[in-house]
Amino acid sequence: MSSLMKERYQLYIGGEEVESSDDEVIDVINPATEEPFATVPAGTSEDVDRAVAAASEAQEEWAKKTPVERAGVLREIADTLRENAESLGEVGTRDQGKPMSSSIGTVHGTASFFDFYAGAADKIEGETIPVDEDTLDFTVREPYGVSGHIIPWNAPLAIIGQGVAPSLAAGNAAVIKPAPTAPLLALNFAEICREAGVPDGVVNVVTGATEPGAALSGHEDVDTISFTGSVPTGSAVMESAAKNITPVTLELGGKNPAIVLPDADLEQAVSNVQMGIFTNAGQVCAAPDRAIVHESVYDEFVERIVEGAESYDLGPGAEDPDMGPLNYEEHFESVLEYIELGIEEGATLETGGEALDRDGYFVEPTVFSDVENDMQIAQEEIFGPVLCVIPFSDREEAVEIANDIELGLTGGVFSENVTDALQTAREIEAGSIYVNQWFGGSAAVPFGGYKKSGIGRELGMQGLESYFQSKNVCVNLDDD
């Protein structure tokens, strides 16, 4: 494969790198230096039309391949990702900002998604339904056709993988629209697919800002849409898709509670919450934003989490520090505004809260104590390295605090008492619950939210449900 890092990228449509219909380009900024280092096309609705047409043309032949044949291509994608893990990691770190080891780890995690769905490709089965002795009734599962994937900037390659892998396994073709502030891994992924033998047109990438995203979500020839991002944008995608009755899978925001019961292993709880909220500079929808801690261990928890936060080494992702920068300037400013808001609301800033005095979008790991759950910093997704620590007096109050929010993506509980842990896990209103850990699971585990955190599931066998539809066939066997 040629070098994955370029100064000027093109769209990827129909198996080829092509120019946009418009001459405008978007600068790709290194968030650690604030300097541009590459450009991508500012794709248009016309470019989306071309990509969807290419996908539609390629999809029929792709769907005709046997499940075993499709599985072989998916395994080749997984192998090619692994072979290029270091190069992809370098691109991702410059593009998105995360530490190098994390970027490389994400490549291997994405490869595991393609391995999993390669194994699932020949297990997409229908069923026979007993009706009566003169009727044969059965279902078949068929691909939708063209899937649209609107990708965020915080974990682009992983989110591409968790949507595109099941889509291809089910026999669909895909059009990917990455975020304008982290577009390069999507284009690199297209090159990976080409090297892995994906037929031309089965995977397409259109870069750009709002126009191509809106065109994709509202396109009459896109048959199913996967979107990961904020609640307001997800709502807009859903509204746009509704005009064509296009089904959507939405994985939206989180403001996730980590409940620390009085009998918890405090070292374990602190370690996991710290890892969860400061990974990727807090730019993780599943991060434990709210630590809800029993009053008997509250002070010790705060003391330990502050000590941990202050030990973090910040720097450019290429240096593989503990934590890198935020992804782009406007988001950086938004996180700092939330920190100022928390102080104004009366929360206690225990540590952090400042931008580093250097180039790049760096914000210190930040911990607020004395947080009340009705504060904005406790209700709204900050999407940065900012932890809110909230006290409670009994388990029922902890669950009430955890659920007193519009979102419900993930949640967790730390306790040595299995009964309390499982009861609490049952009562938290969220799609994924972690017990005595954070970010548990694998490619086989479904992920998605309750309430305003989304619709549908990604990953696991449930992740296939967004990419095929069921057809019932009812046969009369009576000769009379």
Q: Taking the chain, what is the end-to-end CA distance rounded to the nearest angstrom?
A: 64
Helices (H) and strands (E) in the chain, counts: 14, 21
Instruction: Give yes or no: 35 in active site.
Output: no
**What percent of the chain is helix, strand and coil (3-state, nearest 5)?**
40, 20, 35
The Cα–Cα gap between 51 and 60 comes to 15
The Cα–Cα gap between 470 and 459 comes to 19
Amino acid (one-letter) located at 86: E
Q: How crowded is residue 68: how many other Cβ atoms within 10 Å of its Cβ? A: 10
The Cα–Cα gap between 455 and 467 comes to 14
Q: What torsion do the CA atoms of 90, 155, 78, 92 make, to the nearest 10 degrees? A: -10
Amino acid (one-letter) located at 198: V
Q: How crowded is residue 315: how many other Cβ atoms within 10 Å of its Cβ? A: 18
**Of the candidates 374, 352, 416, 230, the residue with the CA atom closest to the CA atom of residue 290:** 374
The Cα–Cα gap between 53 and 198 comes to 17
Q: Dihedrals φ, ψ of 321, to 5°? A: -80, -175
CB 182 within 8 A of CB 9: no
Select which of 90, 191, 211, 251 is catalytic. Answer: 251
Cα dihedral sign, 167-126-219-55: positive
Select which of 76, 193, 285, 429 is catalytic. Answer: 285
The Cα–Cα gap between 254 and 330 comes to 20
- The two tokens of residue 286 are 């599943």
Instruction: Give yes or no: 251 in active site.
Output: yes
CB 17 within 8 A of CB 10: yes
Cα angle 10-15-17, degrees, rounded to a multiple of 5:
15
CA-to-CA dists, residue 284 to 181, 249, 253, 307, angstroms: 16, 18, 9, 22
Contacts of 31 (CB under 8 A, 6+ apart): 96, 97, 324, 325, 326, 327, 328, 360, 361
- Strand ranges inside 393-467, DSSP E: 407-408, 410-414, 432-435, 450-451, 454-455
Residues pairing with 90 in the sheet: none
CB 278 within 8 A of CB 384: no
Q: Annotated active-site positions, please?
A: 251, 285
